[in-house]
Structure 1
Amino acid sequence: MTATTAPDLAVDDVARLAAEAFTALSETPPEVRAGALRAAAATLGDHADELVAIAQEETGLAEARLRGELTRTRVQLRLFAHVVADGAYLDVRLDEADPDFVLGPRPDLRRSLWPVGPVLNFAASNFPFAFSVAGGDTAAALAAGCPVIVKAHPGHPRLSERVAELVAGALVEAGLPEGTLQLVTGQDAGVALLEHPAVRAAAFTGSQRVGQLLAARAAARPDPVPFFGELGSVNPVLVSAAALEERGGELLAGYVASVSGSAGQLCTKPGFLLVPEGTAYDDAVVAAAADVAEHRLLNPSIADGYERRVSEVLGVDGVRVVRPGGFRRDTDGQGWATPTFVSVPLDVLRTAGPALLDEVFGPFSVIVEYPRGTDLAAVVGELFPGNLTLTLHLGAGETGADLQALVARLGEHAGRVLLGGWPTGVAVTPAMQHGGPWPATTTDGTSVGTAAIARFLRGVTFQDAPQALLPPPLRDDNPWGVPRTVSPRGASAQW
């Protein structure tokens, strides 16, 4: 095969190819893996027009959005190439043998991080490039030295096959083994591979219901494997009275834009805006939403879910419609929507529970009026315990011990805490955290940024091993040239 794609291979064959690739890939020098990641990024750029056209047809997302997302995908690949070439991700630690160590004689100990093995990646629907075949999960796993089997999302099948063909071919041509990247289709194949002994970790982006089912399958294996699932988030935004008094119009326009972008089909969309009772916001929200054009939802299944959840929310006693959005179905069953905004008092939100609190995936958001003096940290802990993001808008100069405590408490319930701004738009940088407490994600890892590689690594220590039998990063001559931390003999005498 010139490109390692496998939509028609049996599960056992796919798993066997991945396992065989792992043996060679884990021993591939960093510069070769880094070059392969750069080659994958280059081939995506070379075929950008073709890929964007397919993605636009299959997902209904705008061309500008898709081109930006393809750029992000290429940047992710190049960023992880830099991580691999640098080598610090291996976290190499060498303890010299020390007969006088303070706790008794210490052997020669050499530790580094190793790739876990073949990774199964369940692609997402709402990011057909950045969280799909060549997206962040794939890039992180490949950077770690793990072959990847992608379970294609049915929402963009032709795009998935074409990206897999291009990227797999580029990886092999750059020197990586056949089987480094494979593609499978269908729910049955995905579940079977999740339970296959050759698969050593899995990543998933999608609904809480499906993610929980898959996480349970991964945990129920005779040999449980790590499962990183991003399962959804409502991303509350808290606004103080002072912030609204200073820049209410600007804040509310930003809120509408964040909710409406890509038809609200973003994992960081602000599903709730918490404002003090008595705040005037209707006119500003209506005015900002008036200019938002109708947008197609990703696929008929997403449209079904959106229509159902909007109907459930609107049926709750105490819900007031601030701005009714439009929704229609076309002859192909696709859904088209404009944003809807509703309002409820805080006590109604508490009483309604999941009917209001569960995520509405699409251009919909709830404005919650809280009594002035409310302990917002307690509200977040009670109603929004786990999120990808939490945002706090304050007035100029608002500070003090109470707000410091609030900010610290927000960090207990989200992976990213914003002081100003809006959560949509996730920077692909070393310091990014895209993952949060349950139910946002199933583990404490991140699926964006360079720390995402840690999900696919495990620590291994060699004790008193001869030089000739050590992996390259642990040898005295350090042929890979990776950074290392050394604990010299005799140092403990100075502790």
Structure 2
Amino acid sequence: MTGTDTGIDAVVNEAVERAAAAGARWRATPASERAGVLDALSEALLKHADELWPVADAETHLGEARLRGEIARTAAQFRLFAEVLRDGAYADAVIDHPDPGATPPRPDVRRMNHPLGVVAVFSASNFPFAFSVGGGDTVSALAAGCPVVVKAHEGHPRTSDLTASVVRQALPDPDLLGIVHGFEAGGPLVRHPLVTAVGFTGSLAGGKAVKGLIDERPDPIPFYGELGSVNPVVVLPSADPAAVASGFAASLTLGVGQFCTNPGLVFVPEAGEEGAEFERAIAEAVAATTGGPMLTAKIREGYLRASGRLAEHAEAGGGLAVLASGAAGGADGSVAPRVFVTDLDTFADGLPELGEECFGPAAIVVRYRDPADLPAILGRLPGSLTATVHAVDAEEAREVVPALQRLAGRLIWNGWPTGVAVCWAMHHGGPWPASTTPAHTSVGAASIRRWLTPVAYQDWPDELLPPELRDGNPLGLPRRVDGRLEA
């Protein structure tokens, strides 16, 4: 171990130990009081928006409108989880009274969720607020009663520090939120024995590296990673070509394509004038777009490398061609949107490579002859966060729906995947490699479940039970009692 490693280990160790000590008090804080803290955190972010967005813009070049909107979204996440705590259903309180006549005889059993402990969070590059220090992983963990140590993203370190300062000022104990910097900090953080779970938003390679570190622990812990996603779009013959083309171009180039829900594959009809119209409209819409600078040099290099491979494939004349390119934009390091086109047979022969994510404003348009040919190909795609259908006639989609339900965690009708609502019903996850645990979400009220673990109490005295499980239901929570839900 080098002297530098020793220093990093010491920084990480101090942050985790401080978080663990603060967490012991936080988990004992009633949910109603934690909800009040979350409301205060929401207000603090909005209050400091004028300070936060310029720092983030200097590091990310995302612009005032986008960053102010992201701060507002992040504040809304804190408010949502305050509602989750006041609602109480997250505790999943269940009571089975004793039944000596059952086979076998049943004792008194009561179960509810409790917080896990210190949660390690790896910030994302593309959302300096909503998926970073004060983002969804952090707020859902705090709501669950867990302290958090964040590994800040190297793309926006000053934004991370400023956000951490704002959040800490509104917490009852600033040690509930720790922050560490540097690529080298990831290993000691994941391996720390007091860390009980990891949340990650990033690349497939990065997620695999974190998973490898977890597997080396003597006590493997839960890993909730959001990794890569190609987000296929199925355009059926009854859809409107102009609407599809304009919506696709806007979604593809939003944030220079640096969204986890970027539409990377679009299946369009091939036969007849209708099919040709889809292709022409998409080509015209993409040609009118302008790219821009990407968030980091590493992301830009990855985009140029991946899109360059597709361009080489097209130049080789193997059935893939360039459909359209947009302008790069005037800023230094800007990249241009690029869309390629091929037929379904060529695409199938090129899998899995042609089905991989190209993070940035690039996509492949795939022509198909018959919608009935799509389910077999969709079944060969890697898991995605989203899948989209465009059609006027709902009956056209009936054959592809079963394949899409197995492929993605969120299905969209006549819309576009970029933009994830922060709400109770949202599911932001999907089969591998979209996420490591498709049953869980990183956005929305259900994301709190990642940081909770159930504990059952058998024949426990009422006065020693958590209030959520006592006979009198002093907190007025929704509970399932003897198999029936009670409001």
Please state how far the C-alpha of 1:327 moved relative to its aligned partner.
Answer: 4.3
Within the candidate set 196, 199, 210, 1:200 is matched to 196
What is the TM-score with the length of structure 2 in the denominator? Answer: 0.92
The match for 2:246 is 253
Letter paired with 2:260: C
Within the candidate set 274, 279, 284, 1:287 is matched to 284
Coordinate RMSD, CA, aligned = 2.0
Superposition pairs of residues 334-373 of structure 1, within 5 angstroms: 335-373=333-371
SS for the counterpart of 1:229 is: strand
The match for 2:400 is 406
What is the percentage of aligned positions where both structures have the same residue?
46
Higher deviation after alignment, 468-477 or 264-273: 468-477
SS for the counterpart of 1:389 is: strand
Q: How far apart in 2 are the matches of 1:422 and 1:277? A: 22
Residue 417 (structure 2) pairs with residue 419 (structure 1)? no
Q: How far apart in 1 are the matches of 2:398 and 2:237? A: 17
Q: CA 1:408–1:356 in 2, change beyond 3 Å: closer, same or farther?
A: closer
Please state how far the C-alpha of 1:103 moved relative to its aligned partner.
Answer: 1.4
Please state how far the C-alpha of 1:411 moved relative to its aligned partner.
Answer: 0.5
Q: 1:8, 1:184 within 8 Å by CA — same for their partners in 2?
A: no
Q: How far apart in 1 are the matches of 2:70 and 2:123? A: 15
Superposition pairs of residues 23-172 of structure 1, within 5 angstroms: 23-100=24-101, 102-172=102-172
Letter paired with 2:296: N
Letter paired with 2:243: E
Q: How far apart in 2 are the matches of 1:108 and 1:324? A: 67
Q: 1:30, 1:480 within 8 Å by CA — same for their partners in 2?
A: no
Please state how far the C-alpha of 1:374 moved relative to its aligned partner.
Answer: 4.2
Letter paired with 2:70: E
SS for the counterpart of 2:195 is: coil
Please state how far the C-alpha of 1:360 moved relative to its aligned partner.
Answer: 1.0
| Per-residue CA distance 1:91-142 (angstroms, 9 max, x = gap) | 1111122223x21332111110111111000000001111001111111111
Q: 1:340, 1:365 within 8 Å by CA — same for their partners in 2?
A: yes
Please state how far the C-alpha of 1:178 moved relative to its aligned partner.
Answer: 4.2
Residue 295 (structure 2) pairs with residue 302 (structure 1)? no
Q: How far apart in 2 are the matches of 1:224 and 1:355? A: 32
SS for the counterpart of 2:171 is: helix
The match for 2:478 is 483
Q: 1:96, 1:487 within 8 Å by CA — same for their partners in 2?
A: yes
What is the TM-score with the length of structure 1 in the denominator? Answer: 0.90
| Per-residue CA distance 1:279-323 (angstroms, 9 max, x = gap) | 224442343234433422111111111111111110113221121
Q: CA 1:241–1:282 in 2, change beyond 3 Å: closer, same or farther?
A: closer
The match for 1:3 is none
The match for 1:273 is 266
SS for the counterpart of 1:482 is: coil
Q: 2:292, 2:329 within 8 Å by CA — same for their partners in 1?
A: no
The match for 2:187 is 191
Q: 2:355, 2:382 within 8 Å by CA — same for their partners in 1?
A: no
Please state how far the C-alpha of 1:189 moved relative to its aligned partner.
Answer: 1.6
Please state how far the C-alpha of 1:268 moved relative to its aligned partner.
Answer: 0.5
Residue 430 (structure 2) pairs with residue 436 (structure 1)? yes
Higher deviation after alignment, 429-438 or 370-379: 370-379
Q: What 5-or-longer segments of structure 1 have no aligned partner?
A: 1-5
Q: CA 1:155–1:299 in 2, change beyond 3 Å: closer, same or farther?
A: same
The match for 1:315 is 312
Within the candidate set 454, 472, 475, 1:459 is matched to 454
Please state how far the C-alpha of 1:482 moved relative to its aligned partner.
Answer: 2.5
Q: How far apart in 2 are the matches of 1:421 and 1:93? A: 39
Letter paired with 1:443: T
Q: How far apart in 1 are the matches of 2:178 and 2:56? A: 20
Q: How far apart in 2 are the matches of 1:8 and 1:155? A: 22
Letter paired with 1:256: A
Q: 2:267, 2:366 within 8 Å by CA — same for their partners in 1?
A: yes
